[in-house]
Structure 1
């Protein structure tokens, strides 16, 4: 039947359009939801949580089907840093669900995220390319996302050993950041299609991880006076994170990149992460100026999320209807 063939064609176009960095959609939506929750905007936060969960489930269905349809492309994609967005997306969603009180979902997300990270890390590292670009920093983001979720679960369930374990991905993620940024092509700040924002976003999630571990350490009295050093680390990381912000904003002003690209979700995530990490650090360090910044910035994050989300829906509709051919993503998308 013609209608059946048309439906099959539309479905195949959708499969072909799924990029390796698709998990960035969950990351961006999830972190903005977390930031809104930290500001007490629970209703809007939960709406975004539902959207993030639907995105995750959709990708959990589509990615295996895409792998079956084009195994060679799938195997090639899993060797690139964007594949690690599946780790970060899962961990960020798990963090938001844990904050909602769904600890069982957070635990499940942590298990899935750790497995994905362990499976993907080696292929990514053994096929590493330089100079690095924005998506290369997903190596840091995915690792730090494990620390954030582990610390959140440790505080929720009062599990000391999980909190101590969270220190490992925190430190490893920072090492990865130095490794990647020392090889970063600074021209990407001017020509990147959205993923250049991860230069700041990777530090922002490291800041959030340090802040979450600090908060959990205080609640559990795990590290004694060591929690003060963790607080200082989180504040120091926040300062370094903020140094990137004027550079990134100026680059956008000088060279606007208005056409939708899946890598724009790698802008939404850092912008949301700036708000989230500022809420946590401002609270733990008791620095009102940081919290006030977060309360303004969270609305910027929400506005950006809305624009990119609508652009994604328009693009998806075009692909389904066949008015826009699905673009074969490059290894850096």
Structure 2
């Protein structure tokens, strides 16, 4: 029987092994909560919100511990695209709490996400490598996450300046997506370990951002050509996202990858984001038939998140036990 100190050491070593890309777990569970809320399944949505906040809190603790206790490692990890999951997860959770009416917390989340985005983006871009892989699309995902939260708050707070700022950042997000796509290796569809799905995830969150901007421009009574362009853009981006989702699903059948990898959370996130985006865009452009598609797409994301929660827990327990035994 292990003593309590050994168990604590094992837990510490297991958490020490958590990679920066684990932030995708908070992103995935958080967007599942958003999608379920959009579907009107509030009780289930709140369960997933609790799970997402719990994961986010643990990851923040790890982030701060490494910043204070292992600065060299923190700086190395901050240079990687996976570090941007911190921004995306914060914006997703901020959006969800805004939908609960907790505006003060959502505003804090937006300010925190902007600060982290400003710190991390130059470091990630400065260490750009090619060809790009799925994780590089987090440059787009993190940026559009700011738009989603900003536009949501623009409606909640009746703040047109947030609508204008979100629109400008939305364009930056599209530029980031295009820049990554231009150097993306589509061989990732065959050999990727899970993060290759962020290729579709970048489109999904861009579509969601556009849908949120439609609502924000409506709230601000901006009914000119920008409103029309955003509505059309939302429909086009969503169509591309759904096509990418289908292509990636076919590739999963053609080249199955069944072993556990933490990057599989980056598969669950685009699946949940596509569901949320489809429901939101359906309302934004007045296409109720699209909502039915979004409602169906929620459940594969929920199922995958459940599987990954169990697999991740087992992986952490195994890592802690193995490290303790080795020690």
Alignment of 1:72-87 (within 5 A): 72-87=72-87
TM superposition shift of 1:108: 0.5
TM superposition shift of 1:223: 4.5
Report the equivalent of 1:289: 289
CA contact (8 A) 1:132 1:185 kept: yes
Change (3 A) 1:21 1:325: farther
Name whichever of 12-21 and 223-232 sits farther off: 223-232
Report the equivalent of 2:276: 276
TM superposition shift of 1:313: 1.4
TM superposition shift of 1:218: 1.1
TM superposition shift of 1:70: 3.1
CA shift digits 1:198-226 (9 cap, x unpaired): 11110110000001000121122134453
Unaligned runs of 5+ in 2: none
Query: Following the alignment from structure 2 to structure 1, what is the Cα–Cα distance between the partners of residues 42 and 8?
Result: 39
Instruction: Look up the SS of the partner of 1:186 in the other structure.
Output: coil
Report the TM-score, using the length of structure 2 for normalisation. 0.95
TM superposition shift of 1:323: 7.0
Instruction: Look up the SS of the partner of 1:172 in the other structure.
Output: helix
Instruction: Look up the SS of the partner of 1:273 in the other structure.
Output: helix
TM superposition shift of 1:320: 2.9
Report the equivalent of 1:170: 170
Q: Number of residue pairs matched?
A: 325
Query: Following the alignment from structure 1 to structure 2, what is the Cα–Cα distance between the partners of residues 55 and 71?
Result: 22
CA contact (8 A) 1:67 1:74 kept: yes
Report the equivalent of 1:18: 18
Query: Following the alignment from structure 1 to structure 2, what is the Cα–Cα distance between the partners of residues 138 and 173?
Result: 10
Change (3 A) 1:103 1:319: same
CA contact (8 A) 2:12 2:320 kept: no
Report the equivalent of 1:210: 210
CA contact (8 A) 2:201 2:274 kept: yes
Name whichever of 241-250 and 314-323 sits farther off: 314-323
Query: Following the alignment from structure 1 to structure 2, what is the Cα–Cα distance between the partners of residues 81 and 223?
Result: 37
TM superposition shift of 1:4: 5.2
Report the equivalent of 2:41: 41
Instruction: Look up the SS of the partner of 1:289 in the other structure.
Output: helix
Unaligned runs of 5+ in 1: 327-333
Report the equivalent of 1:329: none
Report the equivalent of 1:131: 131
CA shift digits 1:293-319 (9 cap, x unpaired): 011111111111111111111112222
Query: Following the alignment from structure 1 to structure 2, what is the Cα–Cα distance between the partners of residues 194 and 8?
Result: 31
RMSD: 1.7
Alignment of 1:116-155 (within 5 A): 116-155=116-155
Query: Following the alignment from structure 2 to structure 1, what is the Cα–Cα distance between the partners of residues 188 and 118?
Result: 28
Report the TM-score, using the length of structure 1 for normalisation. 0.94
Query: Following the alignment from structure 1 to structure 2, what is the Cα–Cα distance between the partners of residues 252 and 304?
Result: 13
CA shift digits 1:226-263 (9 cap, x unpaired): 31221111001111112212210111001111111111
CA contact (8 A) 1:15 1:65 kept: no
Query: Following the alignment from structure 1 to structure 2, what is the Cα–Cα distance between the partners of residues 325 and 117?
Result: 39
Query: Following the alignment from structure 1 to structure 2, what is the Cα–Cα distance between the partners of residues 267 and 184?
Result: 17
Query: Following the alignment from structure 1 to structure 2, what is the Cα–Cα distance between the partners of residues 187 and 9?
Result: 40
Report the equivalent of 1:109: 109
TM superposition shift of 1:129: 0.4
CA contact (8 A) 1:84 1:117 kept: yes
CA shift digits 1:71-91 (9 cap, x unpaired): 322211100100000000000
Query: Following the alignment from structure 2 to structure 1, what is the Cα–Cα distance between the partners of residues 75 and 293?
Result: 42
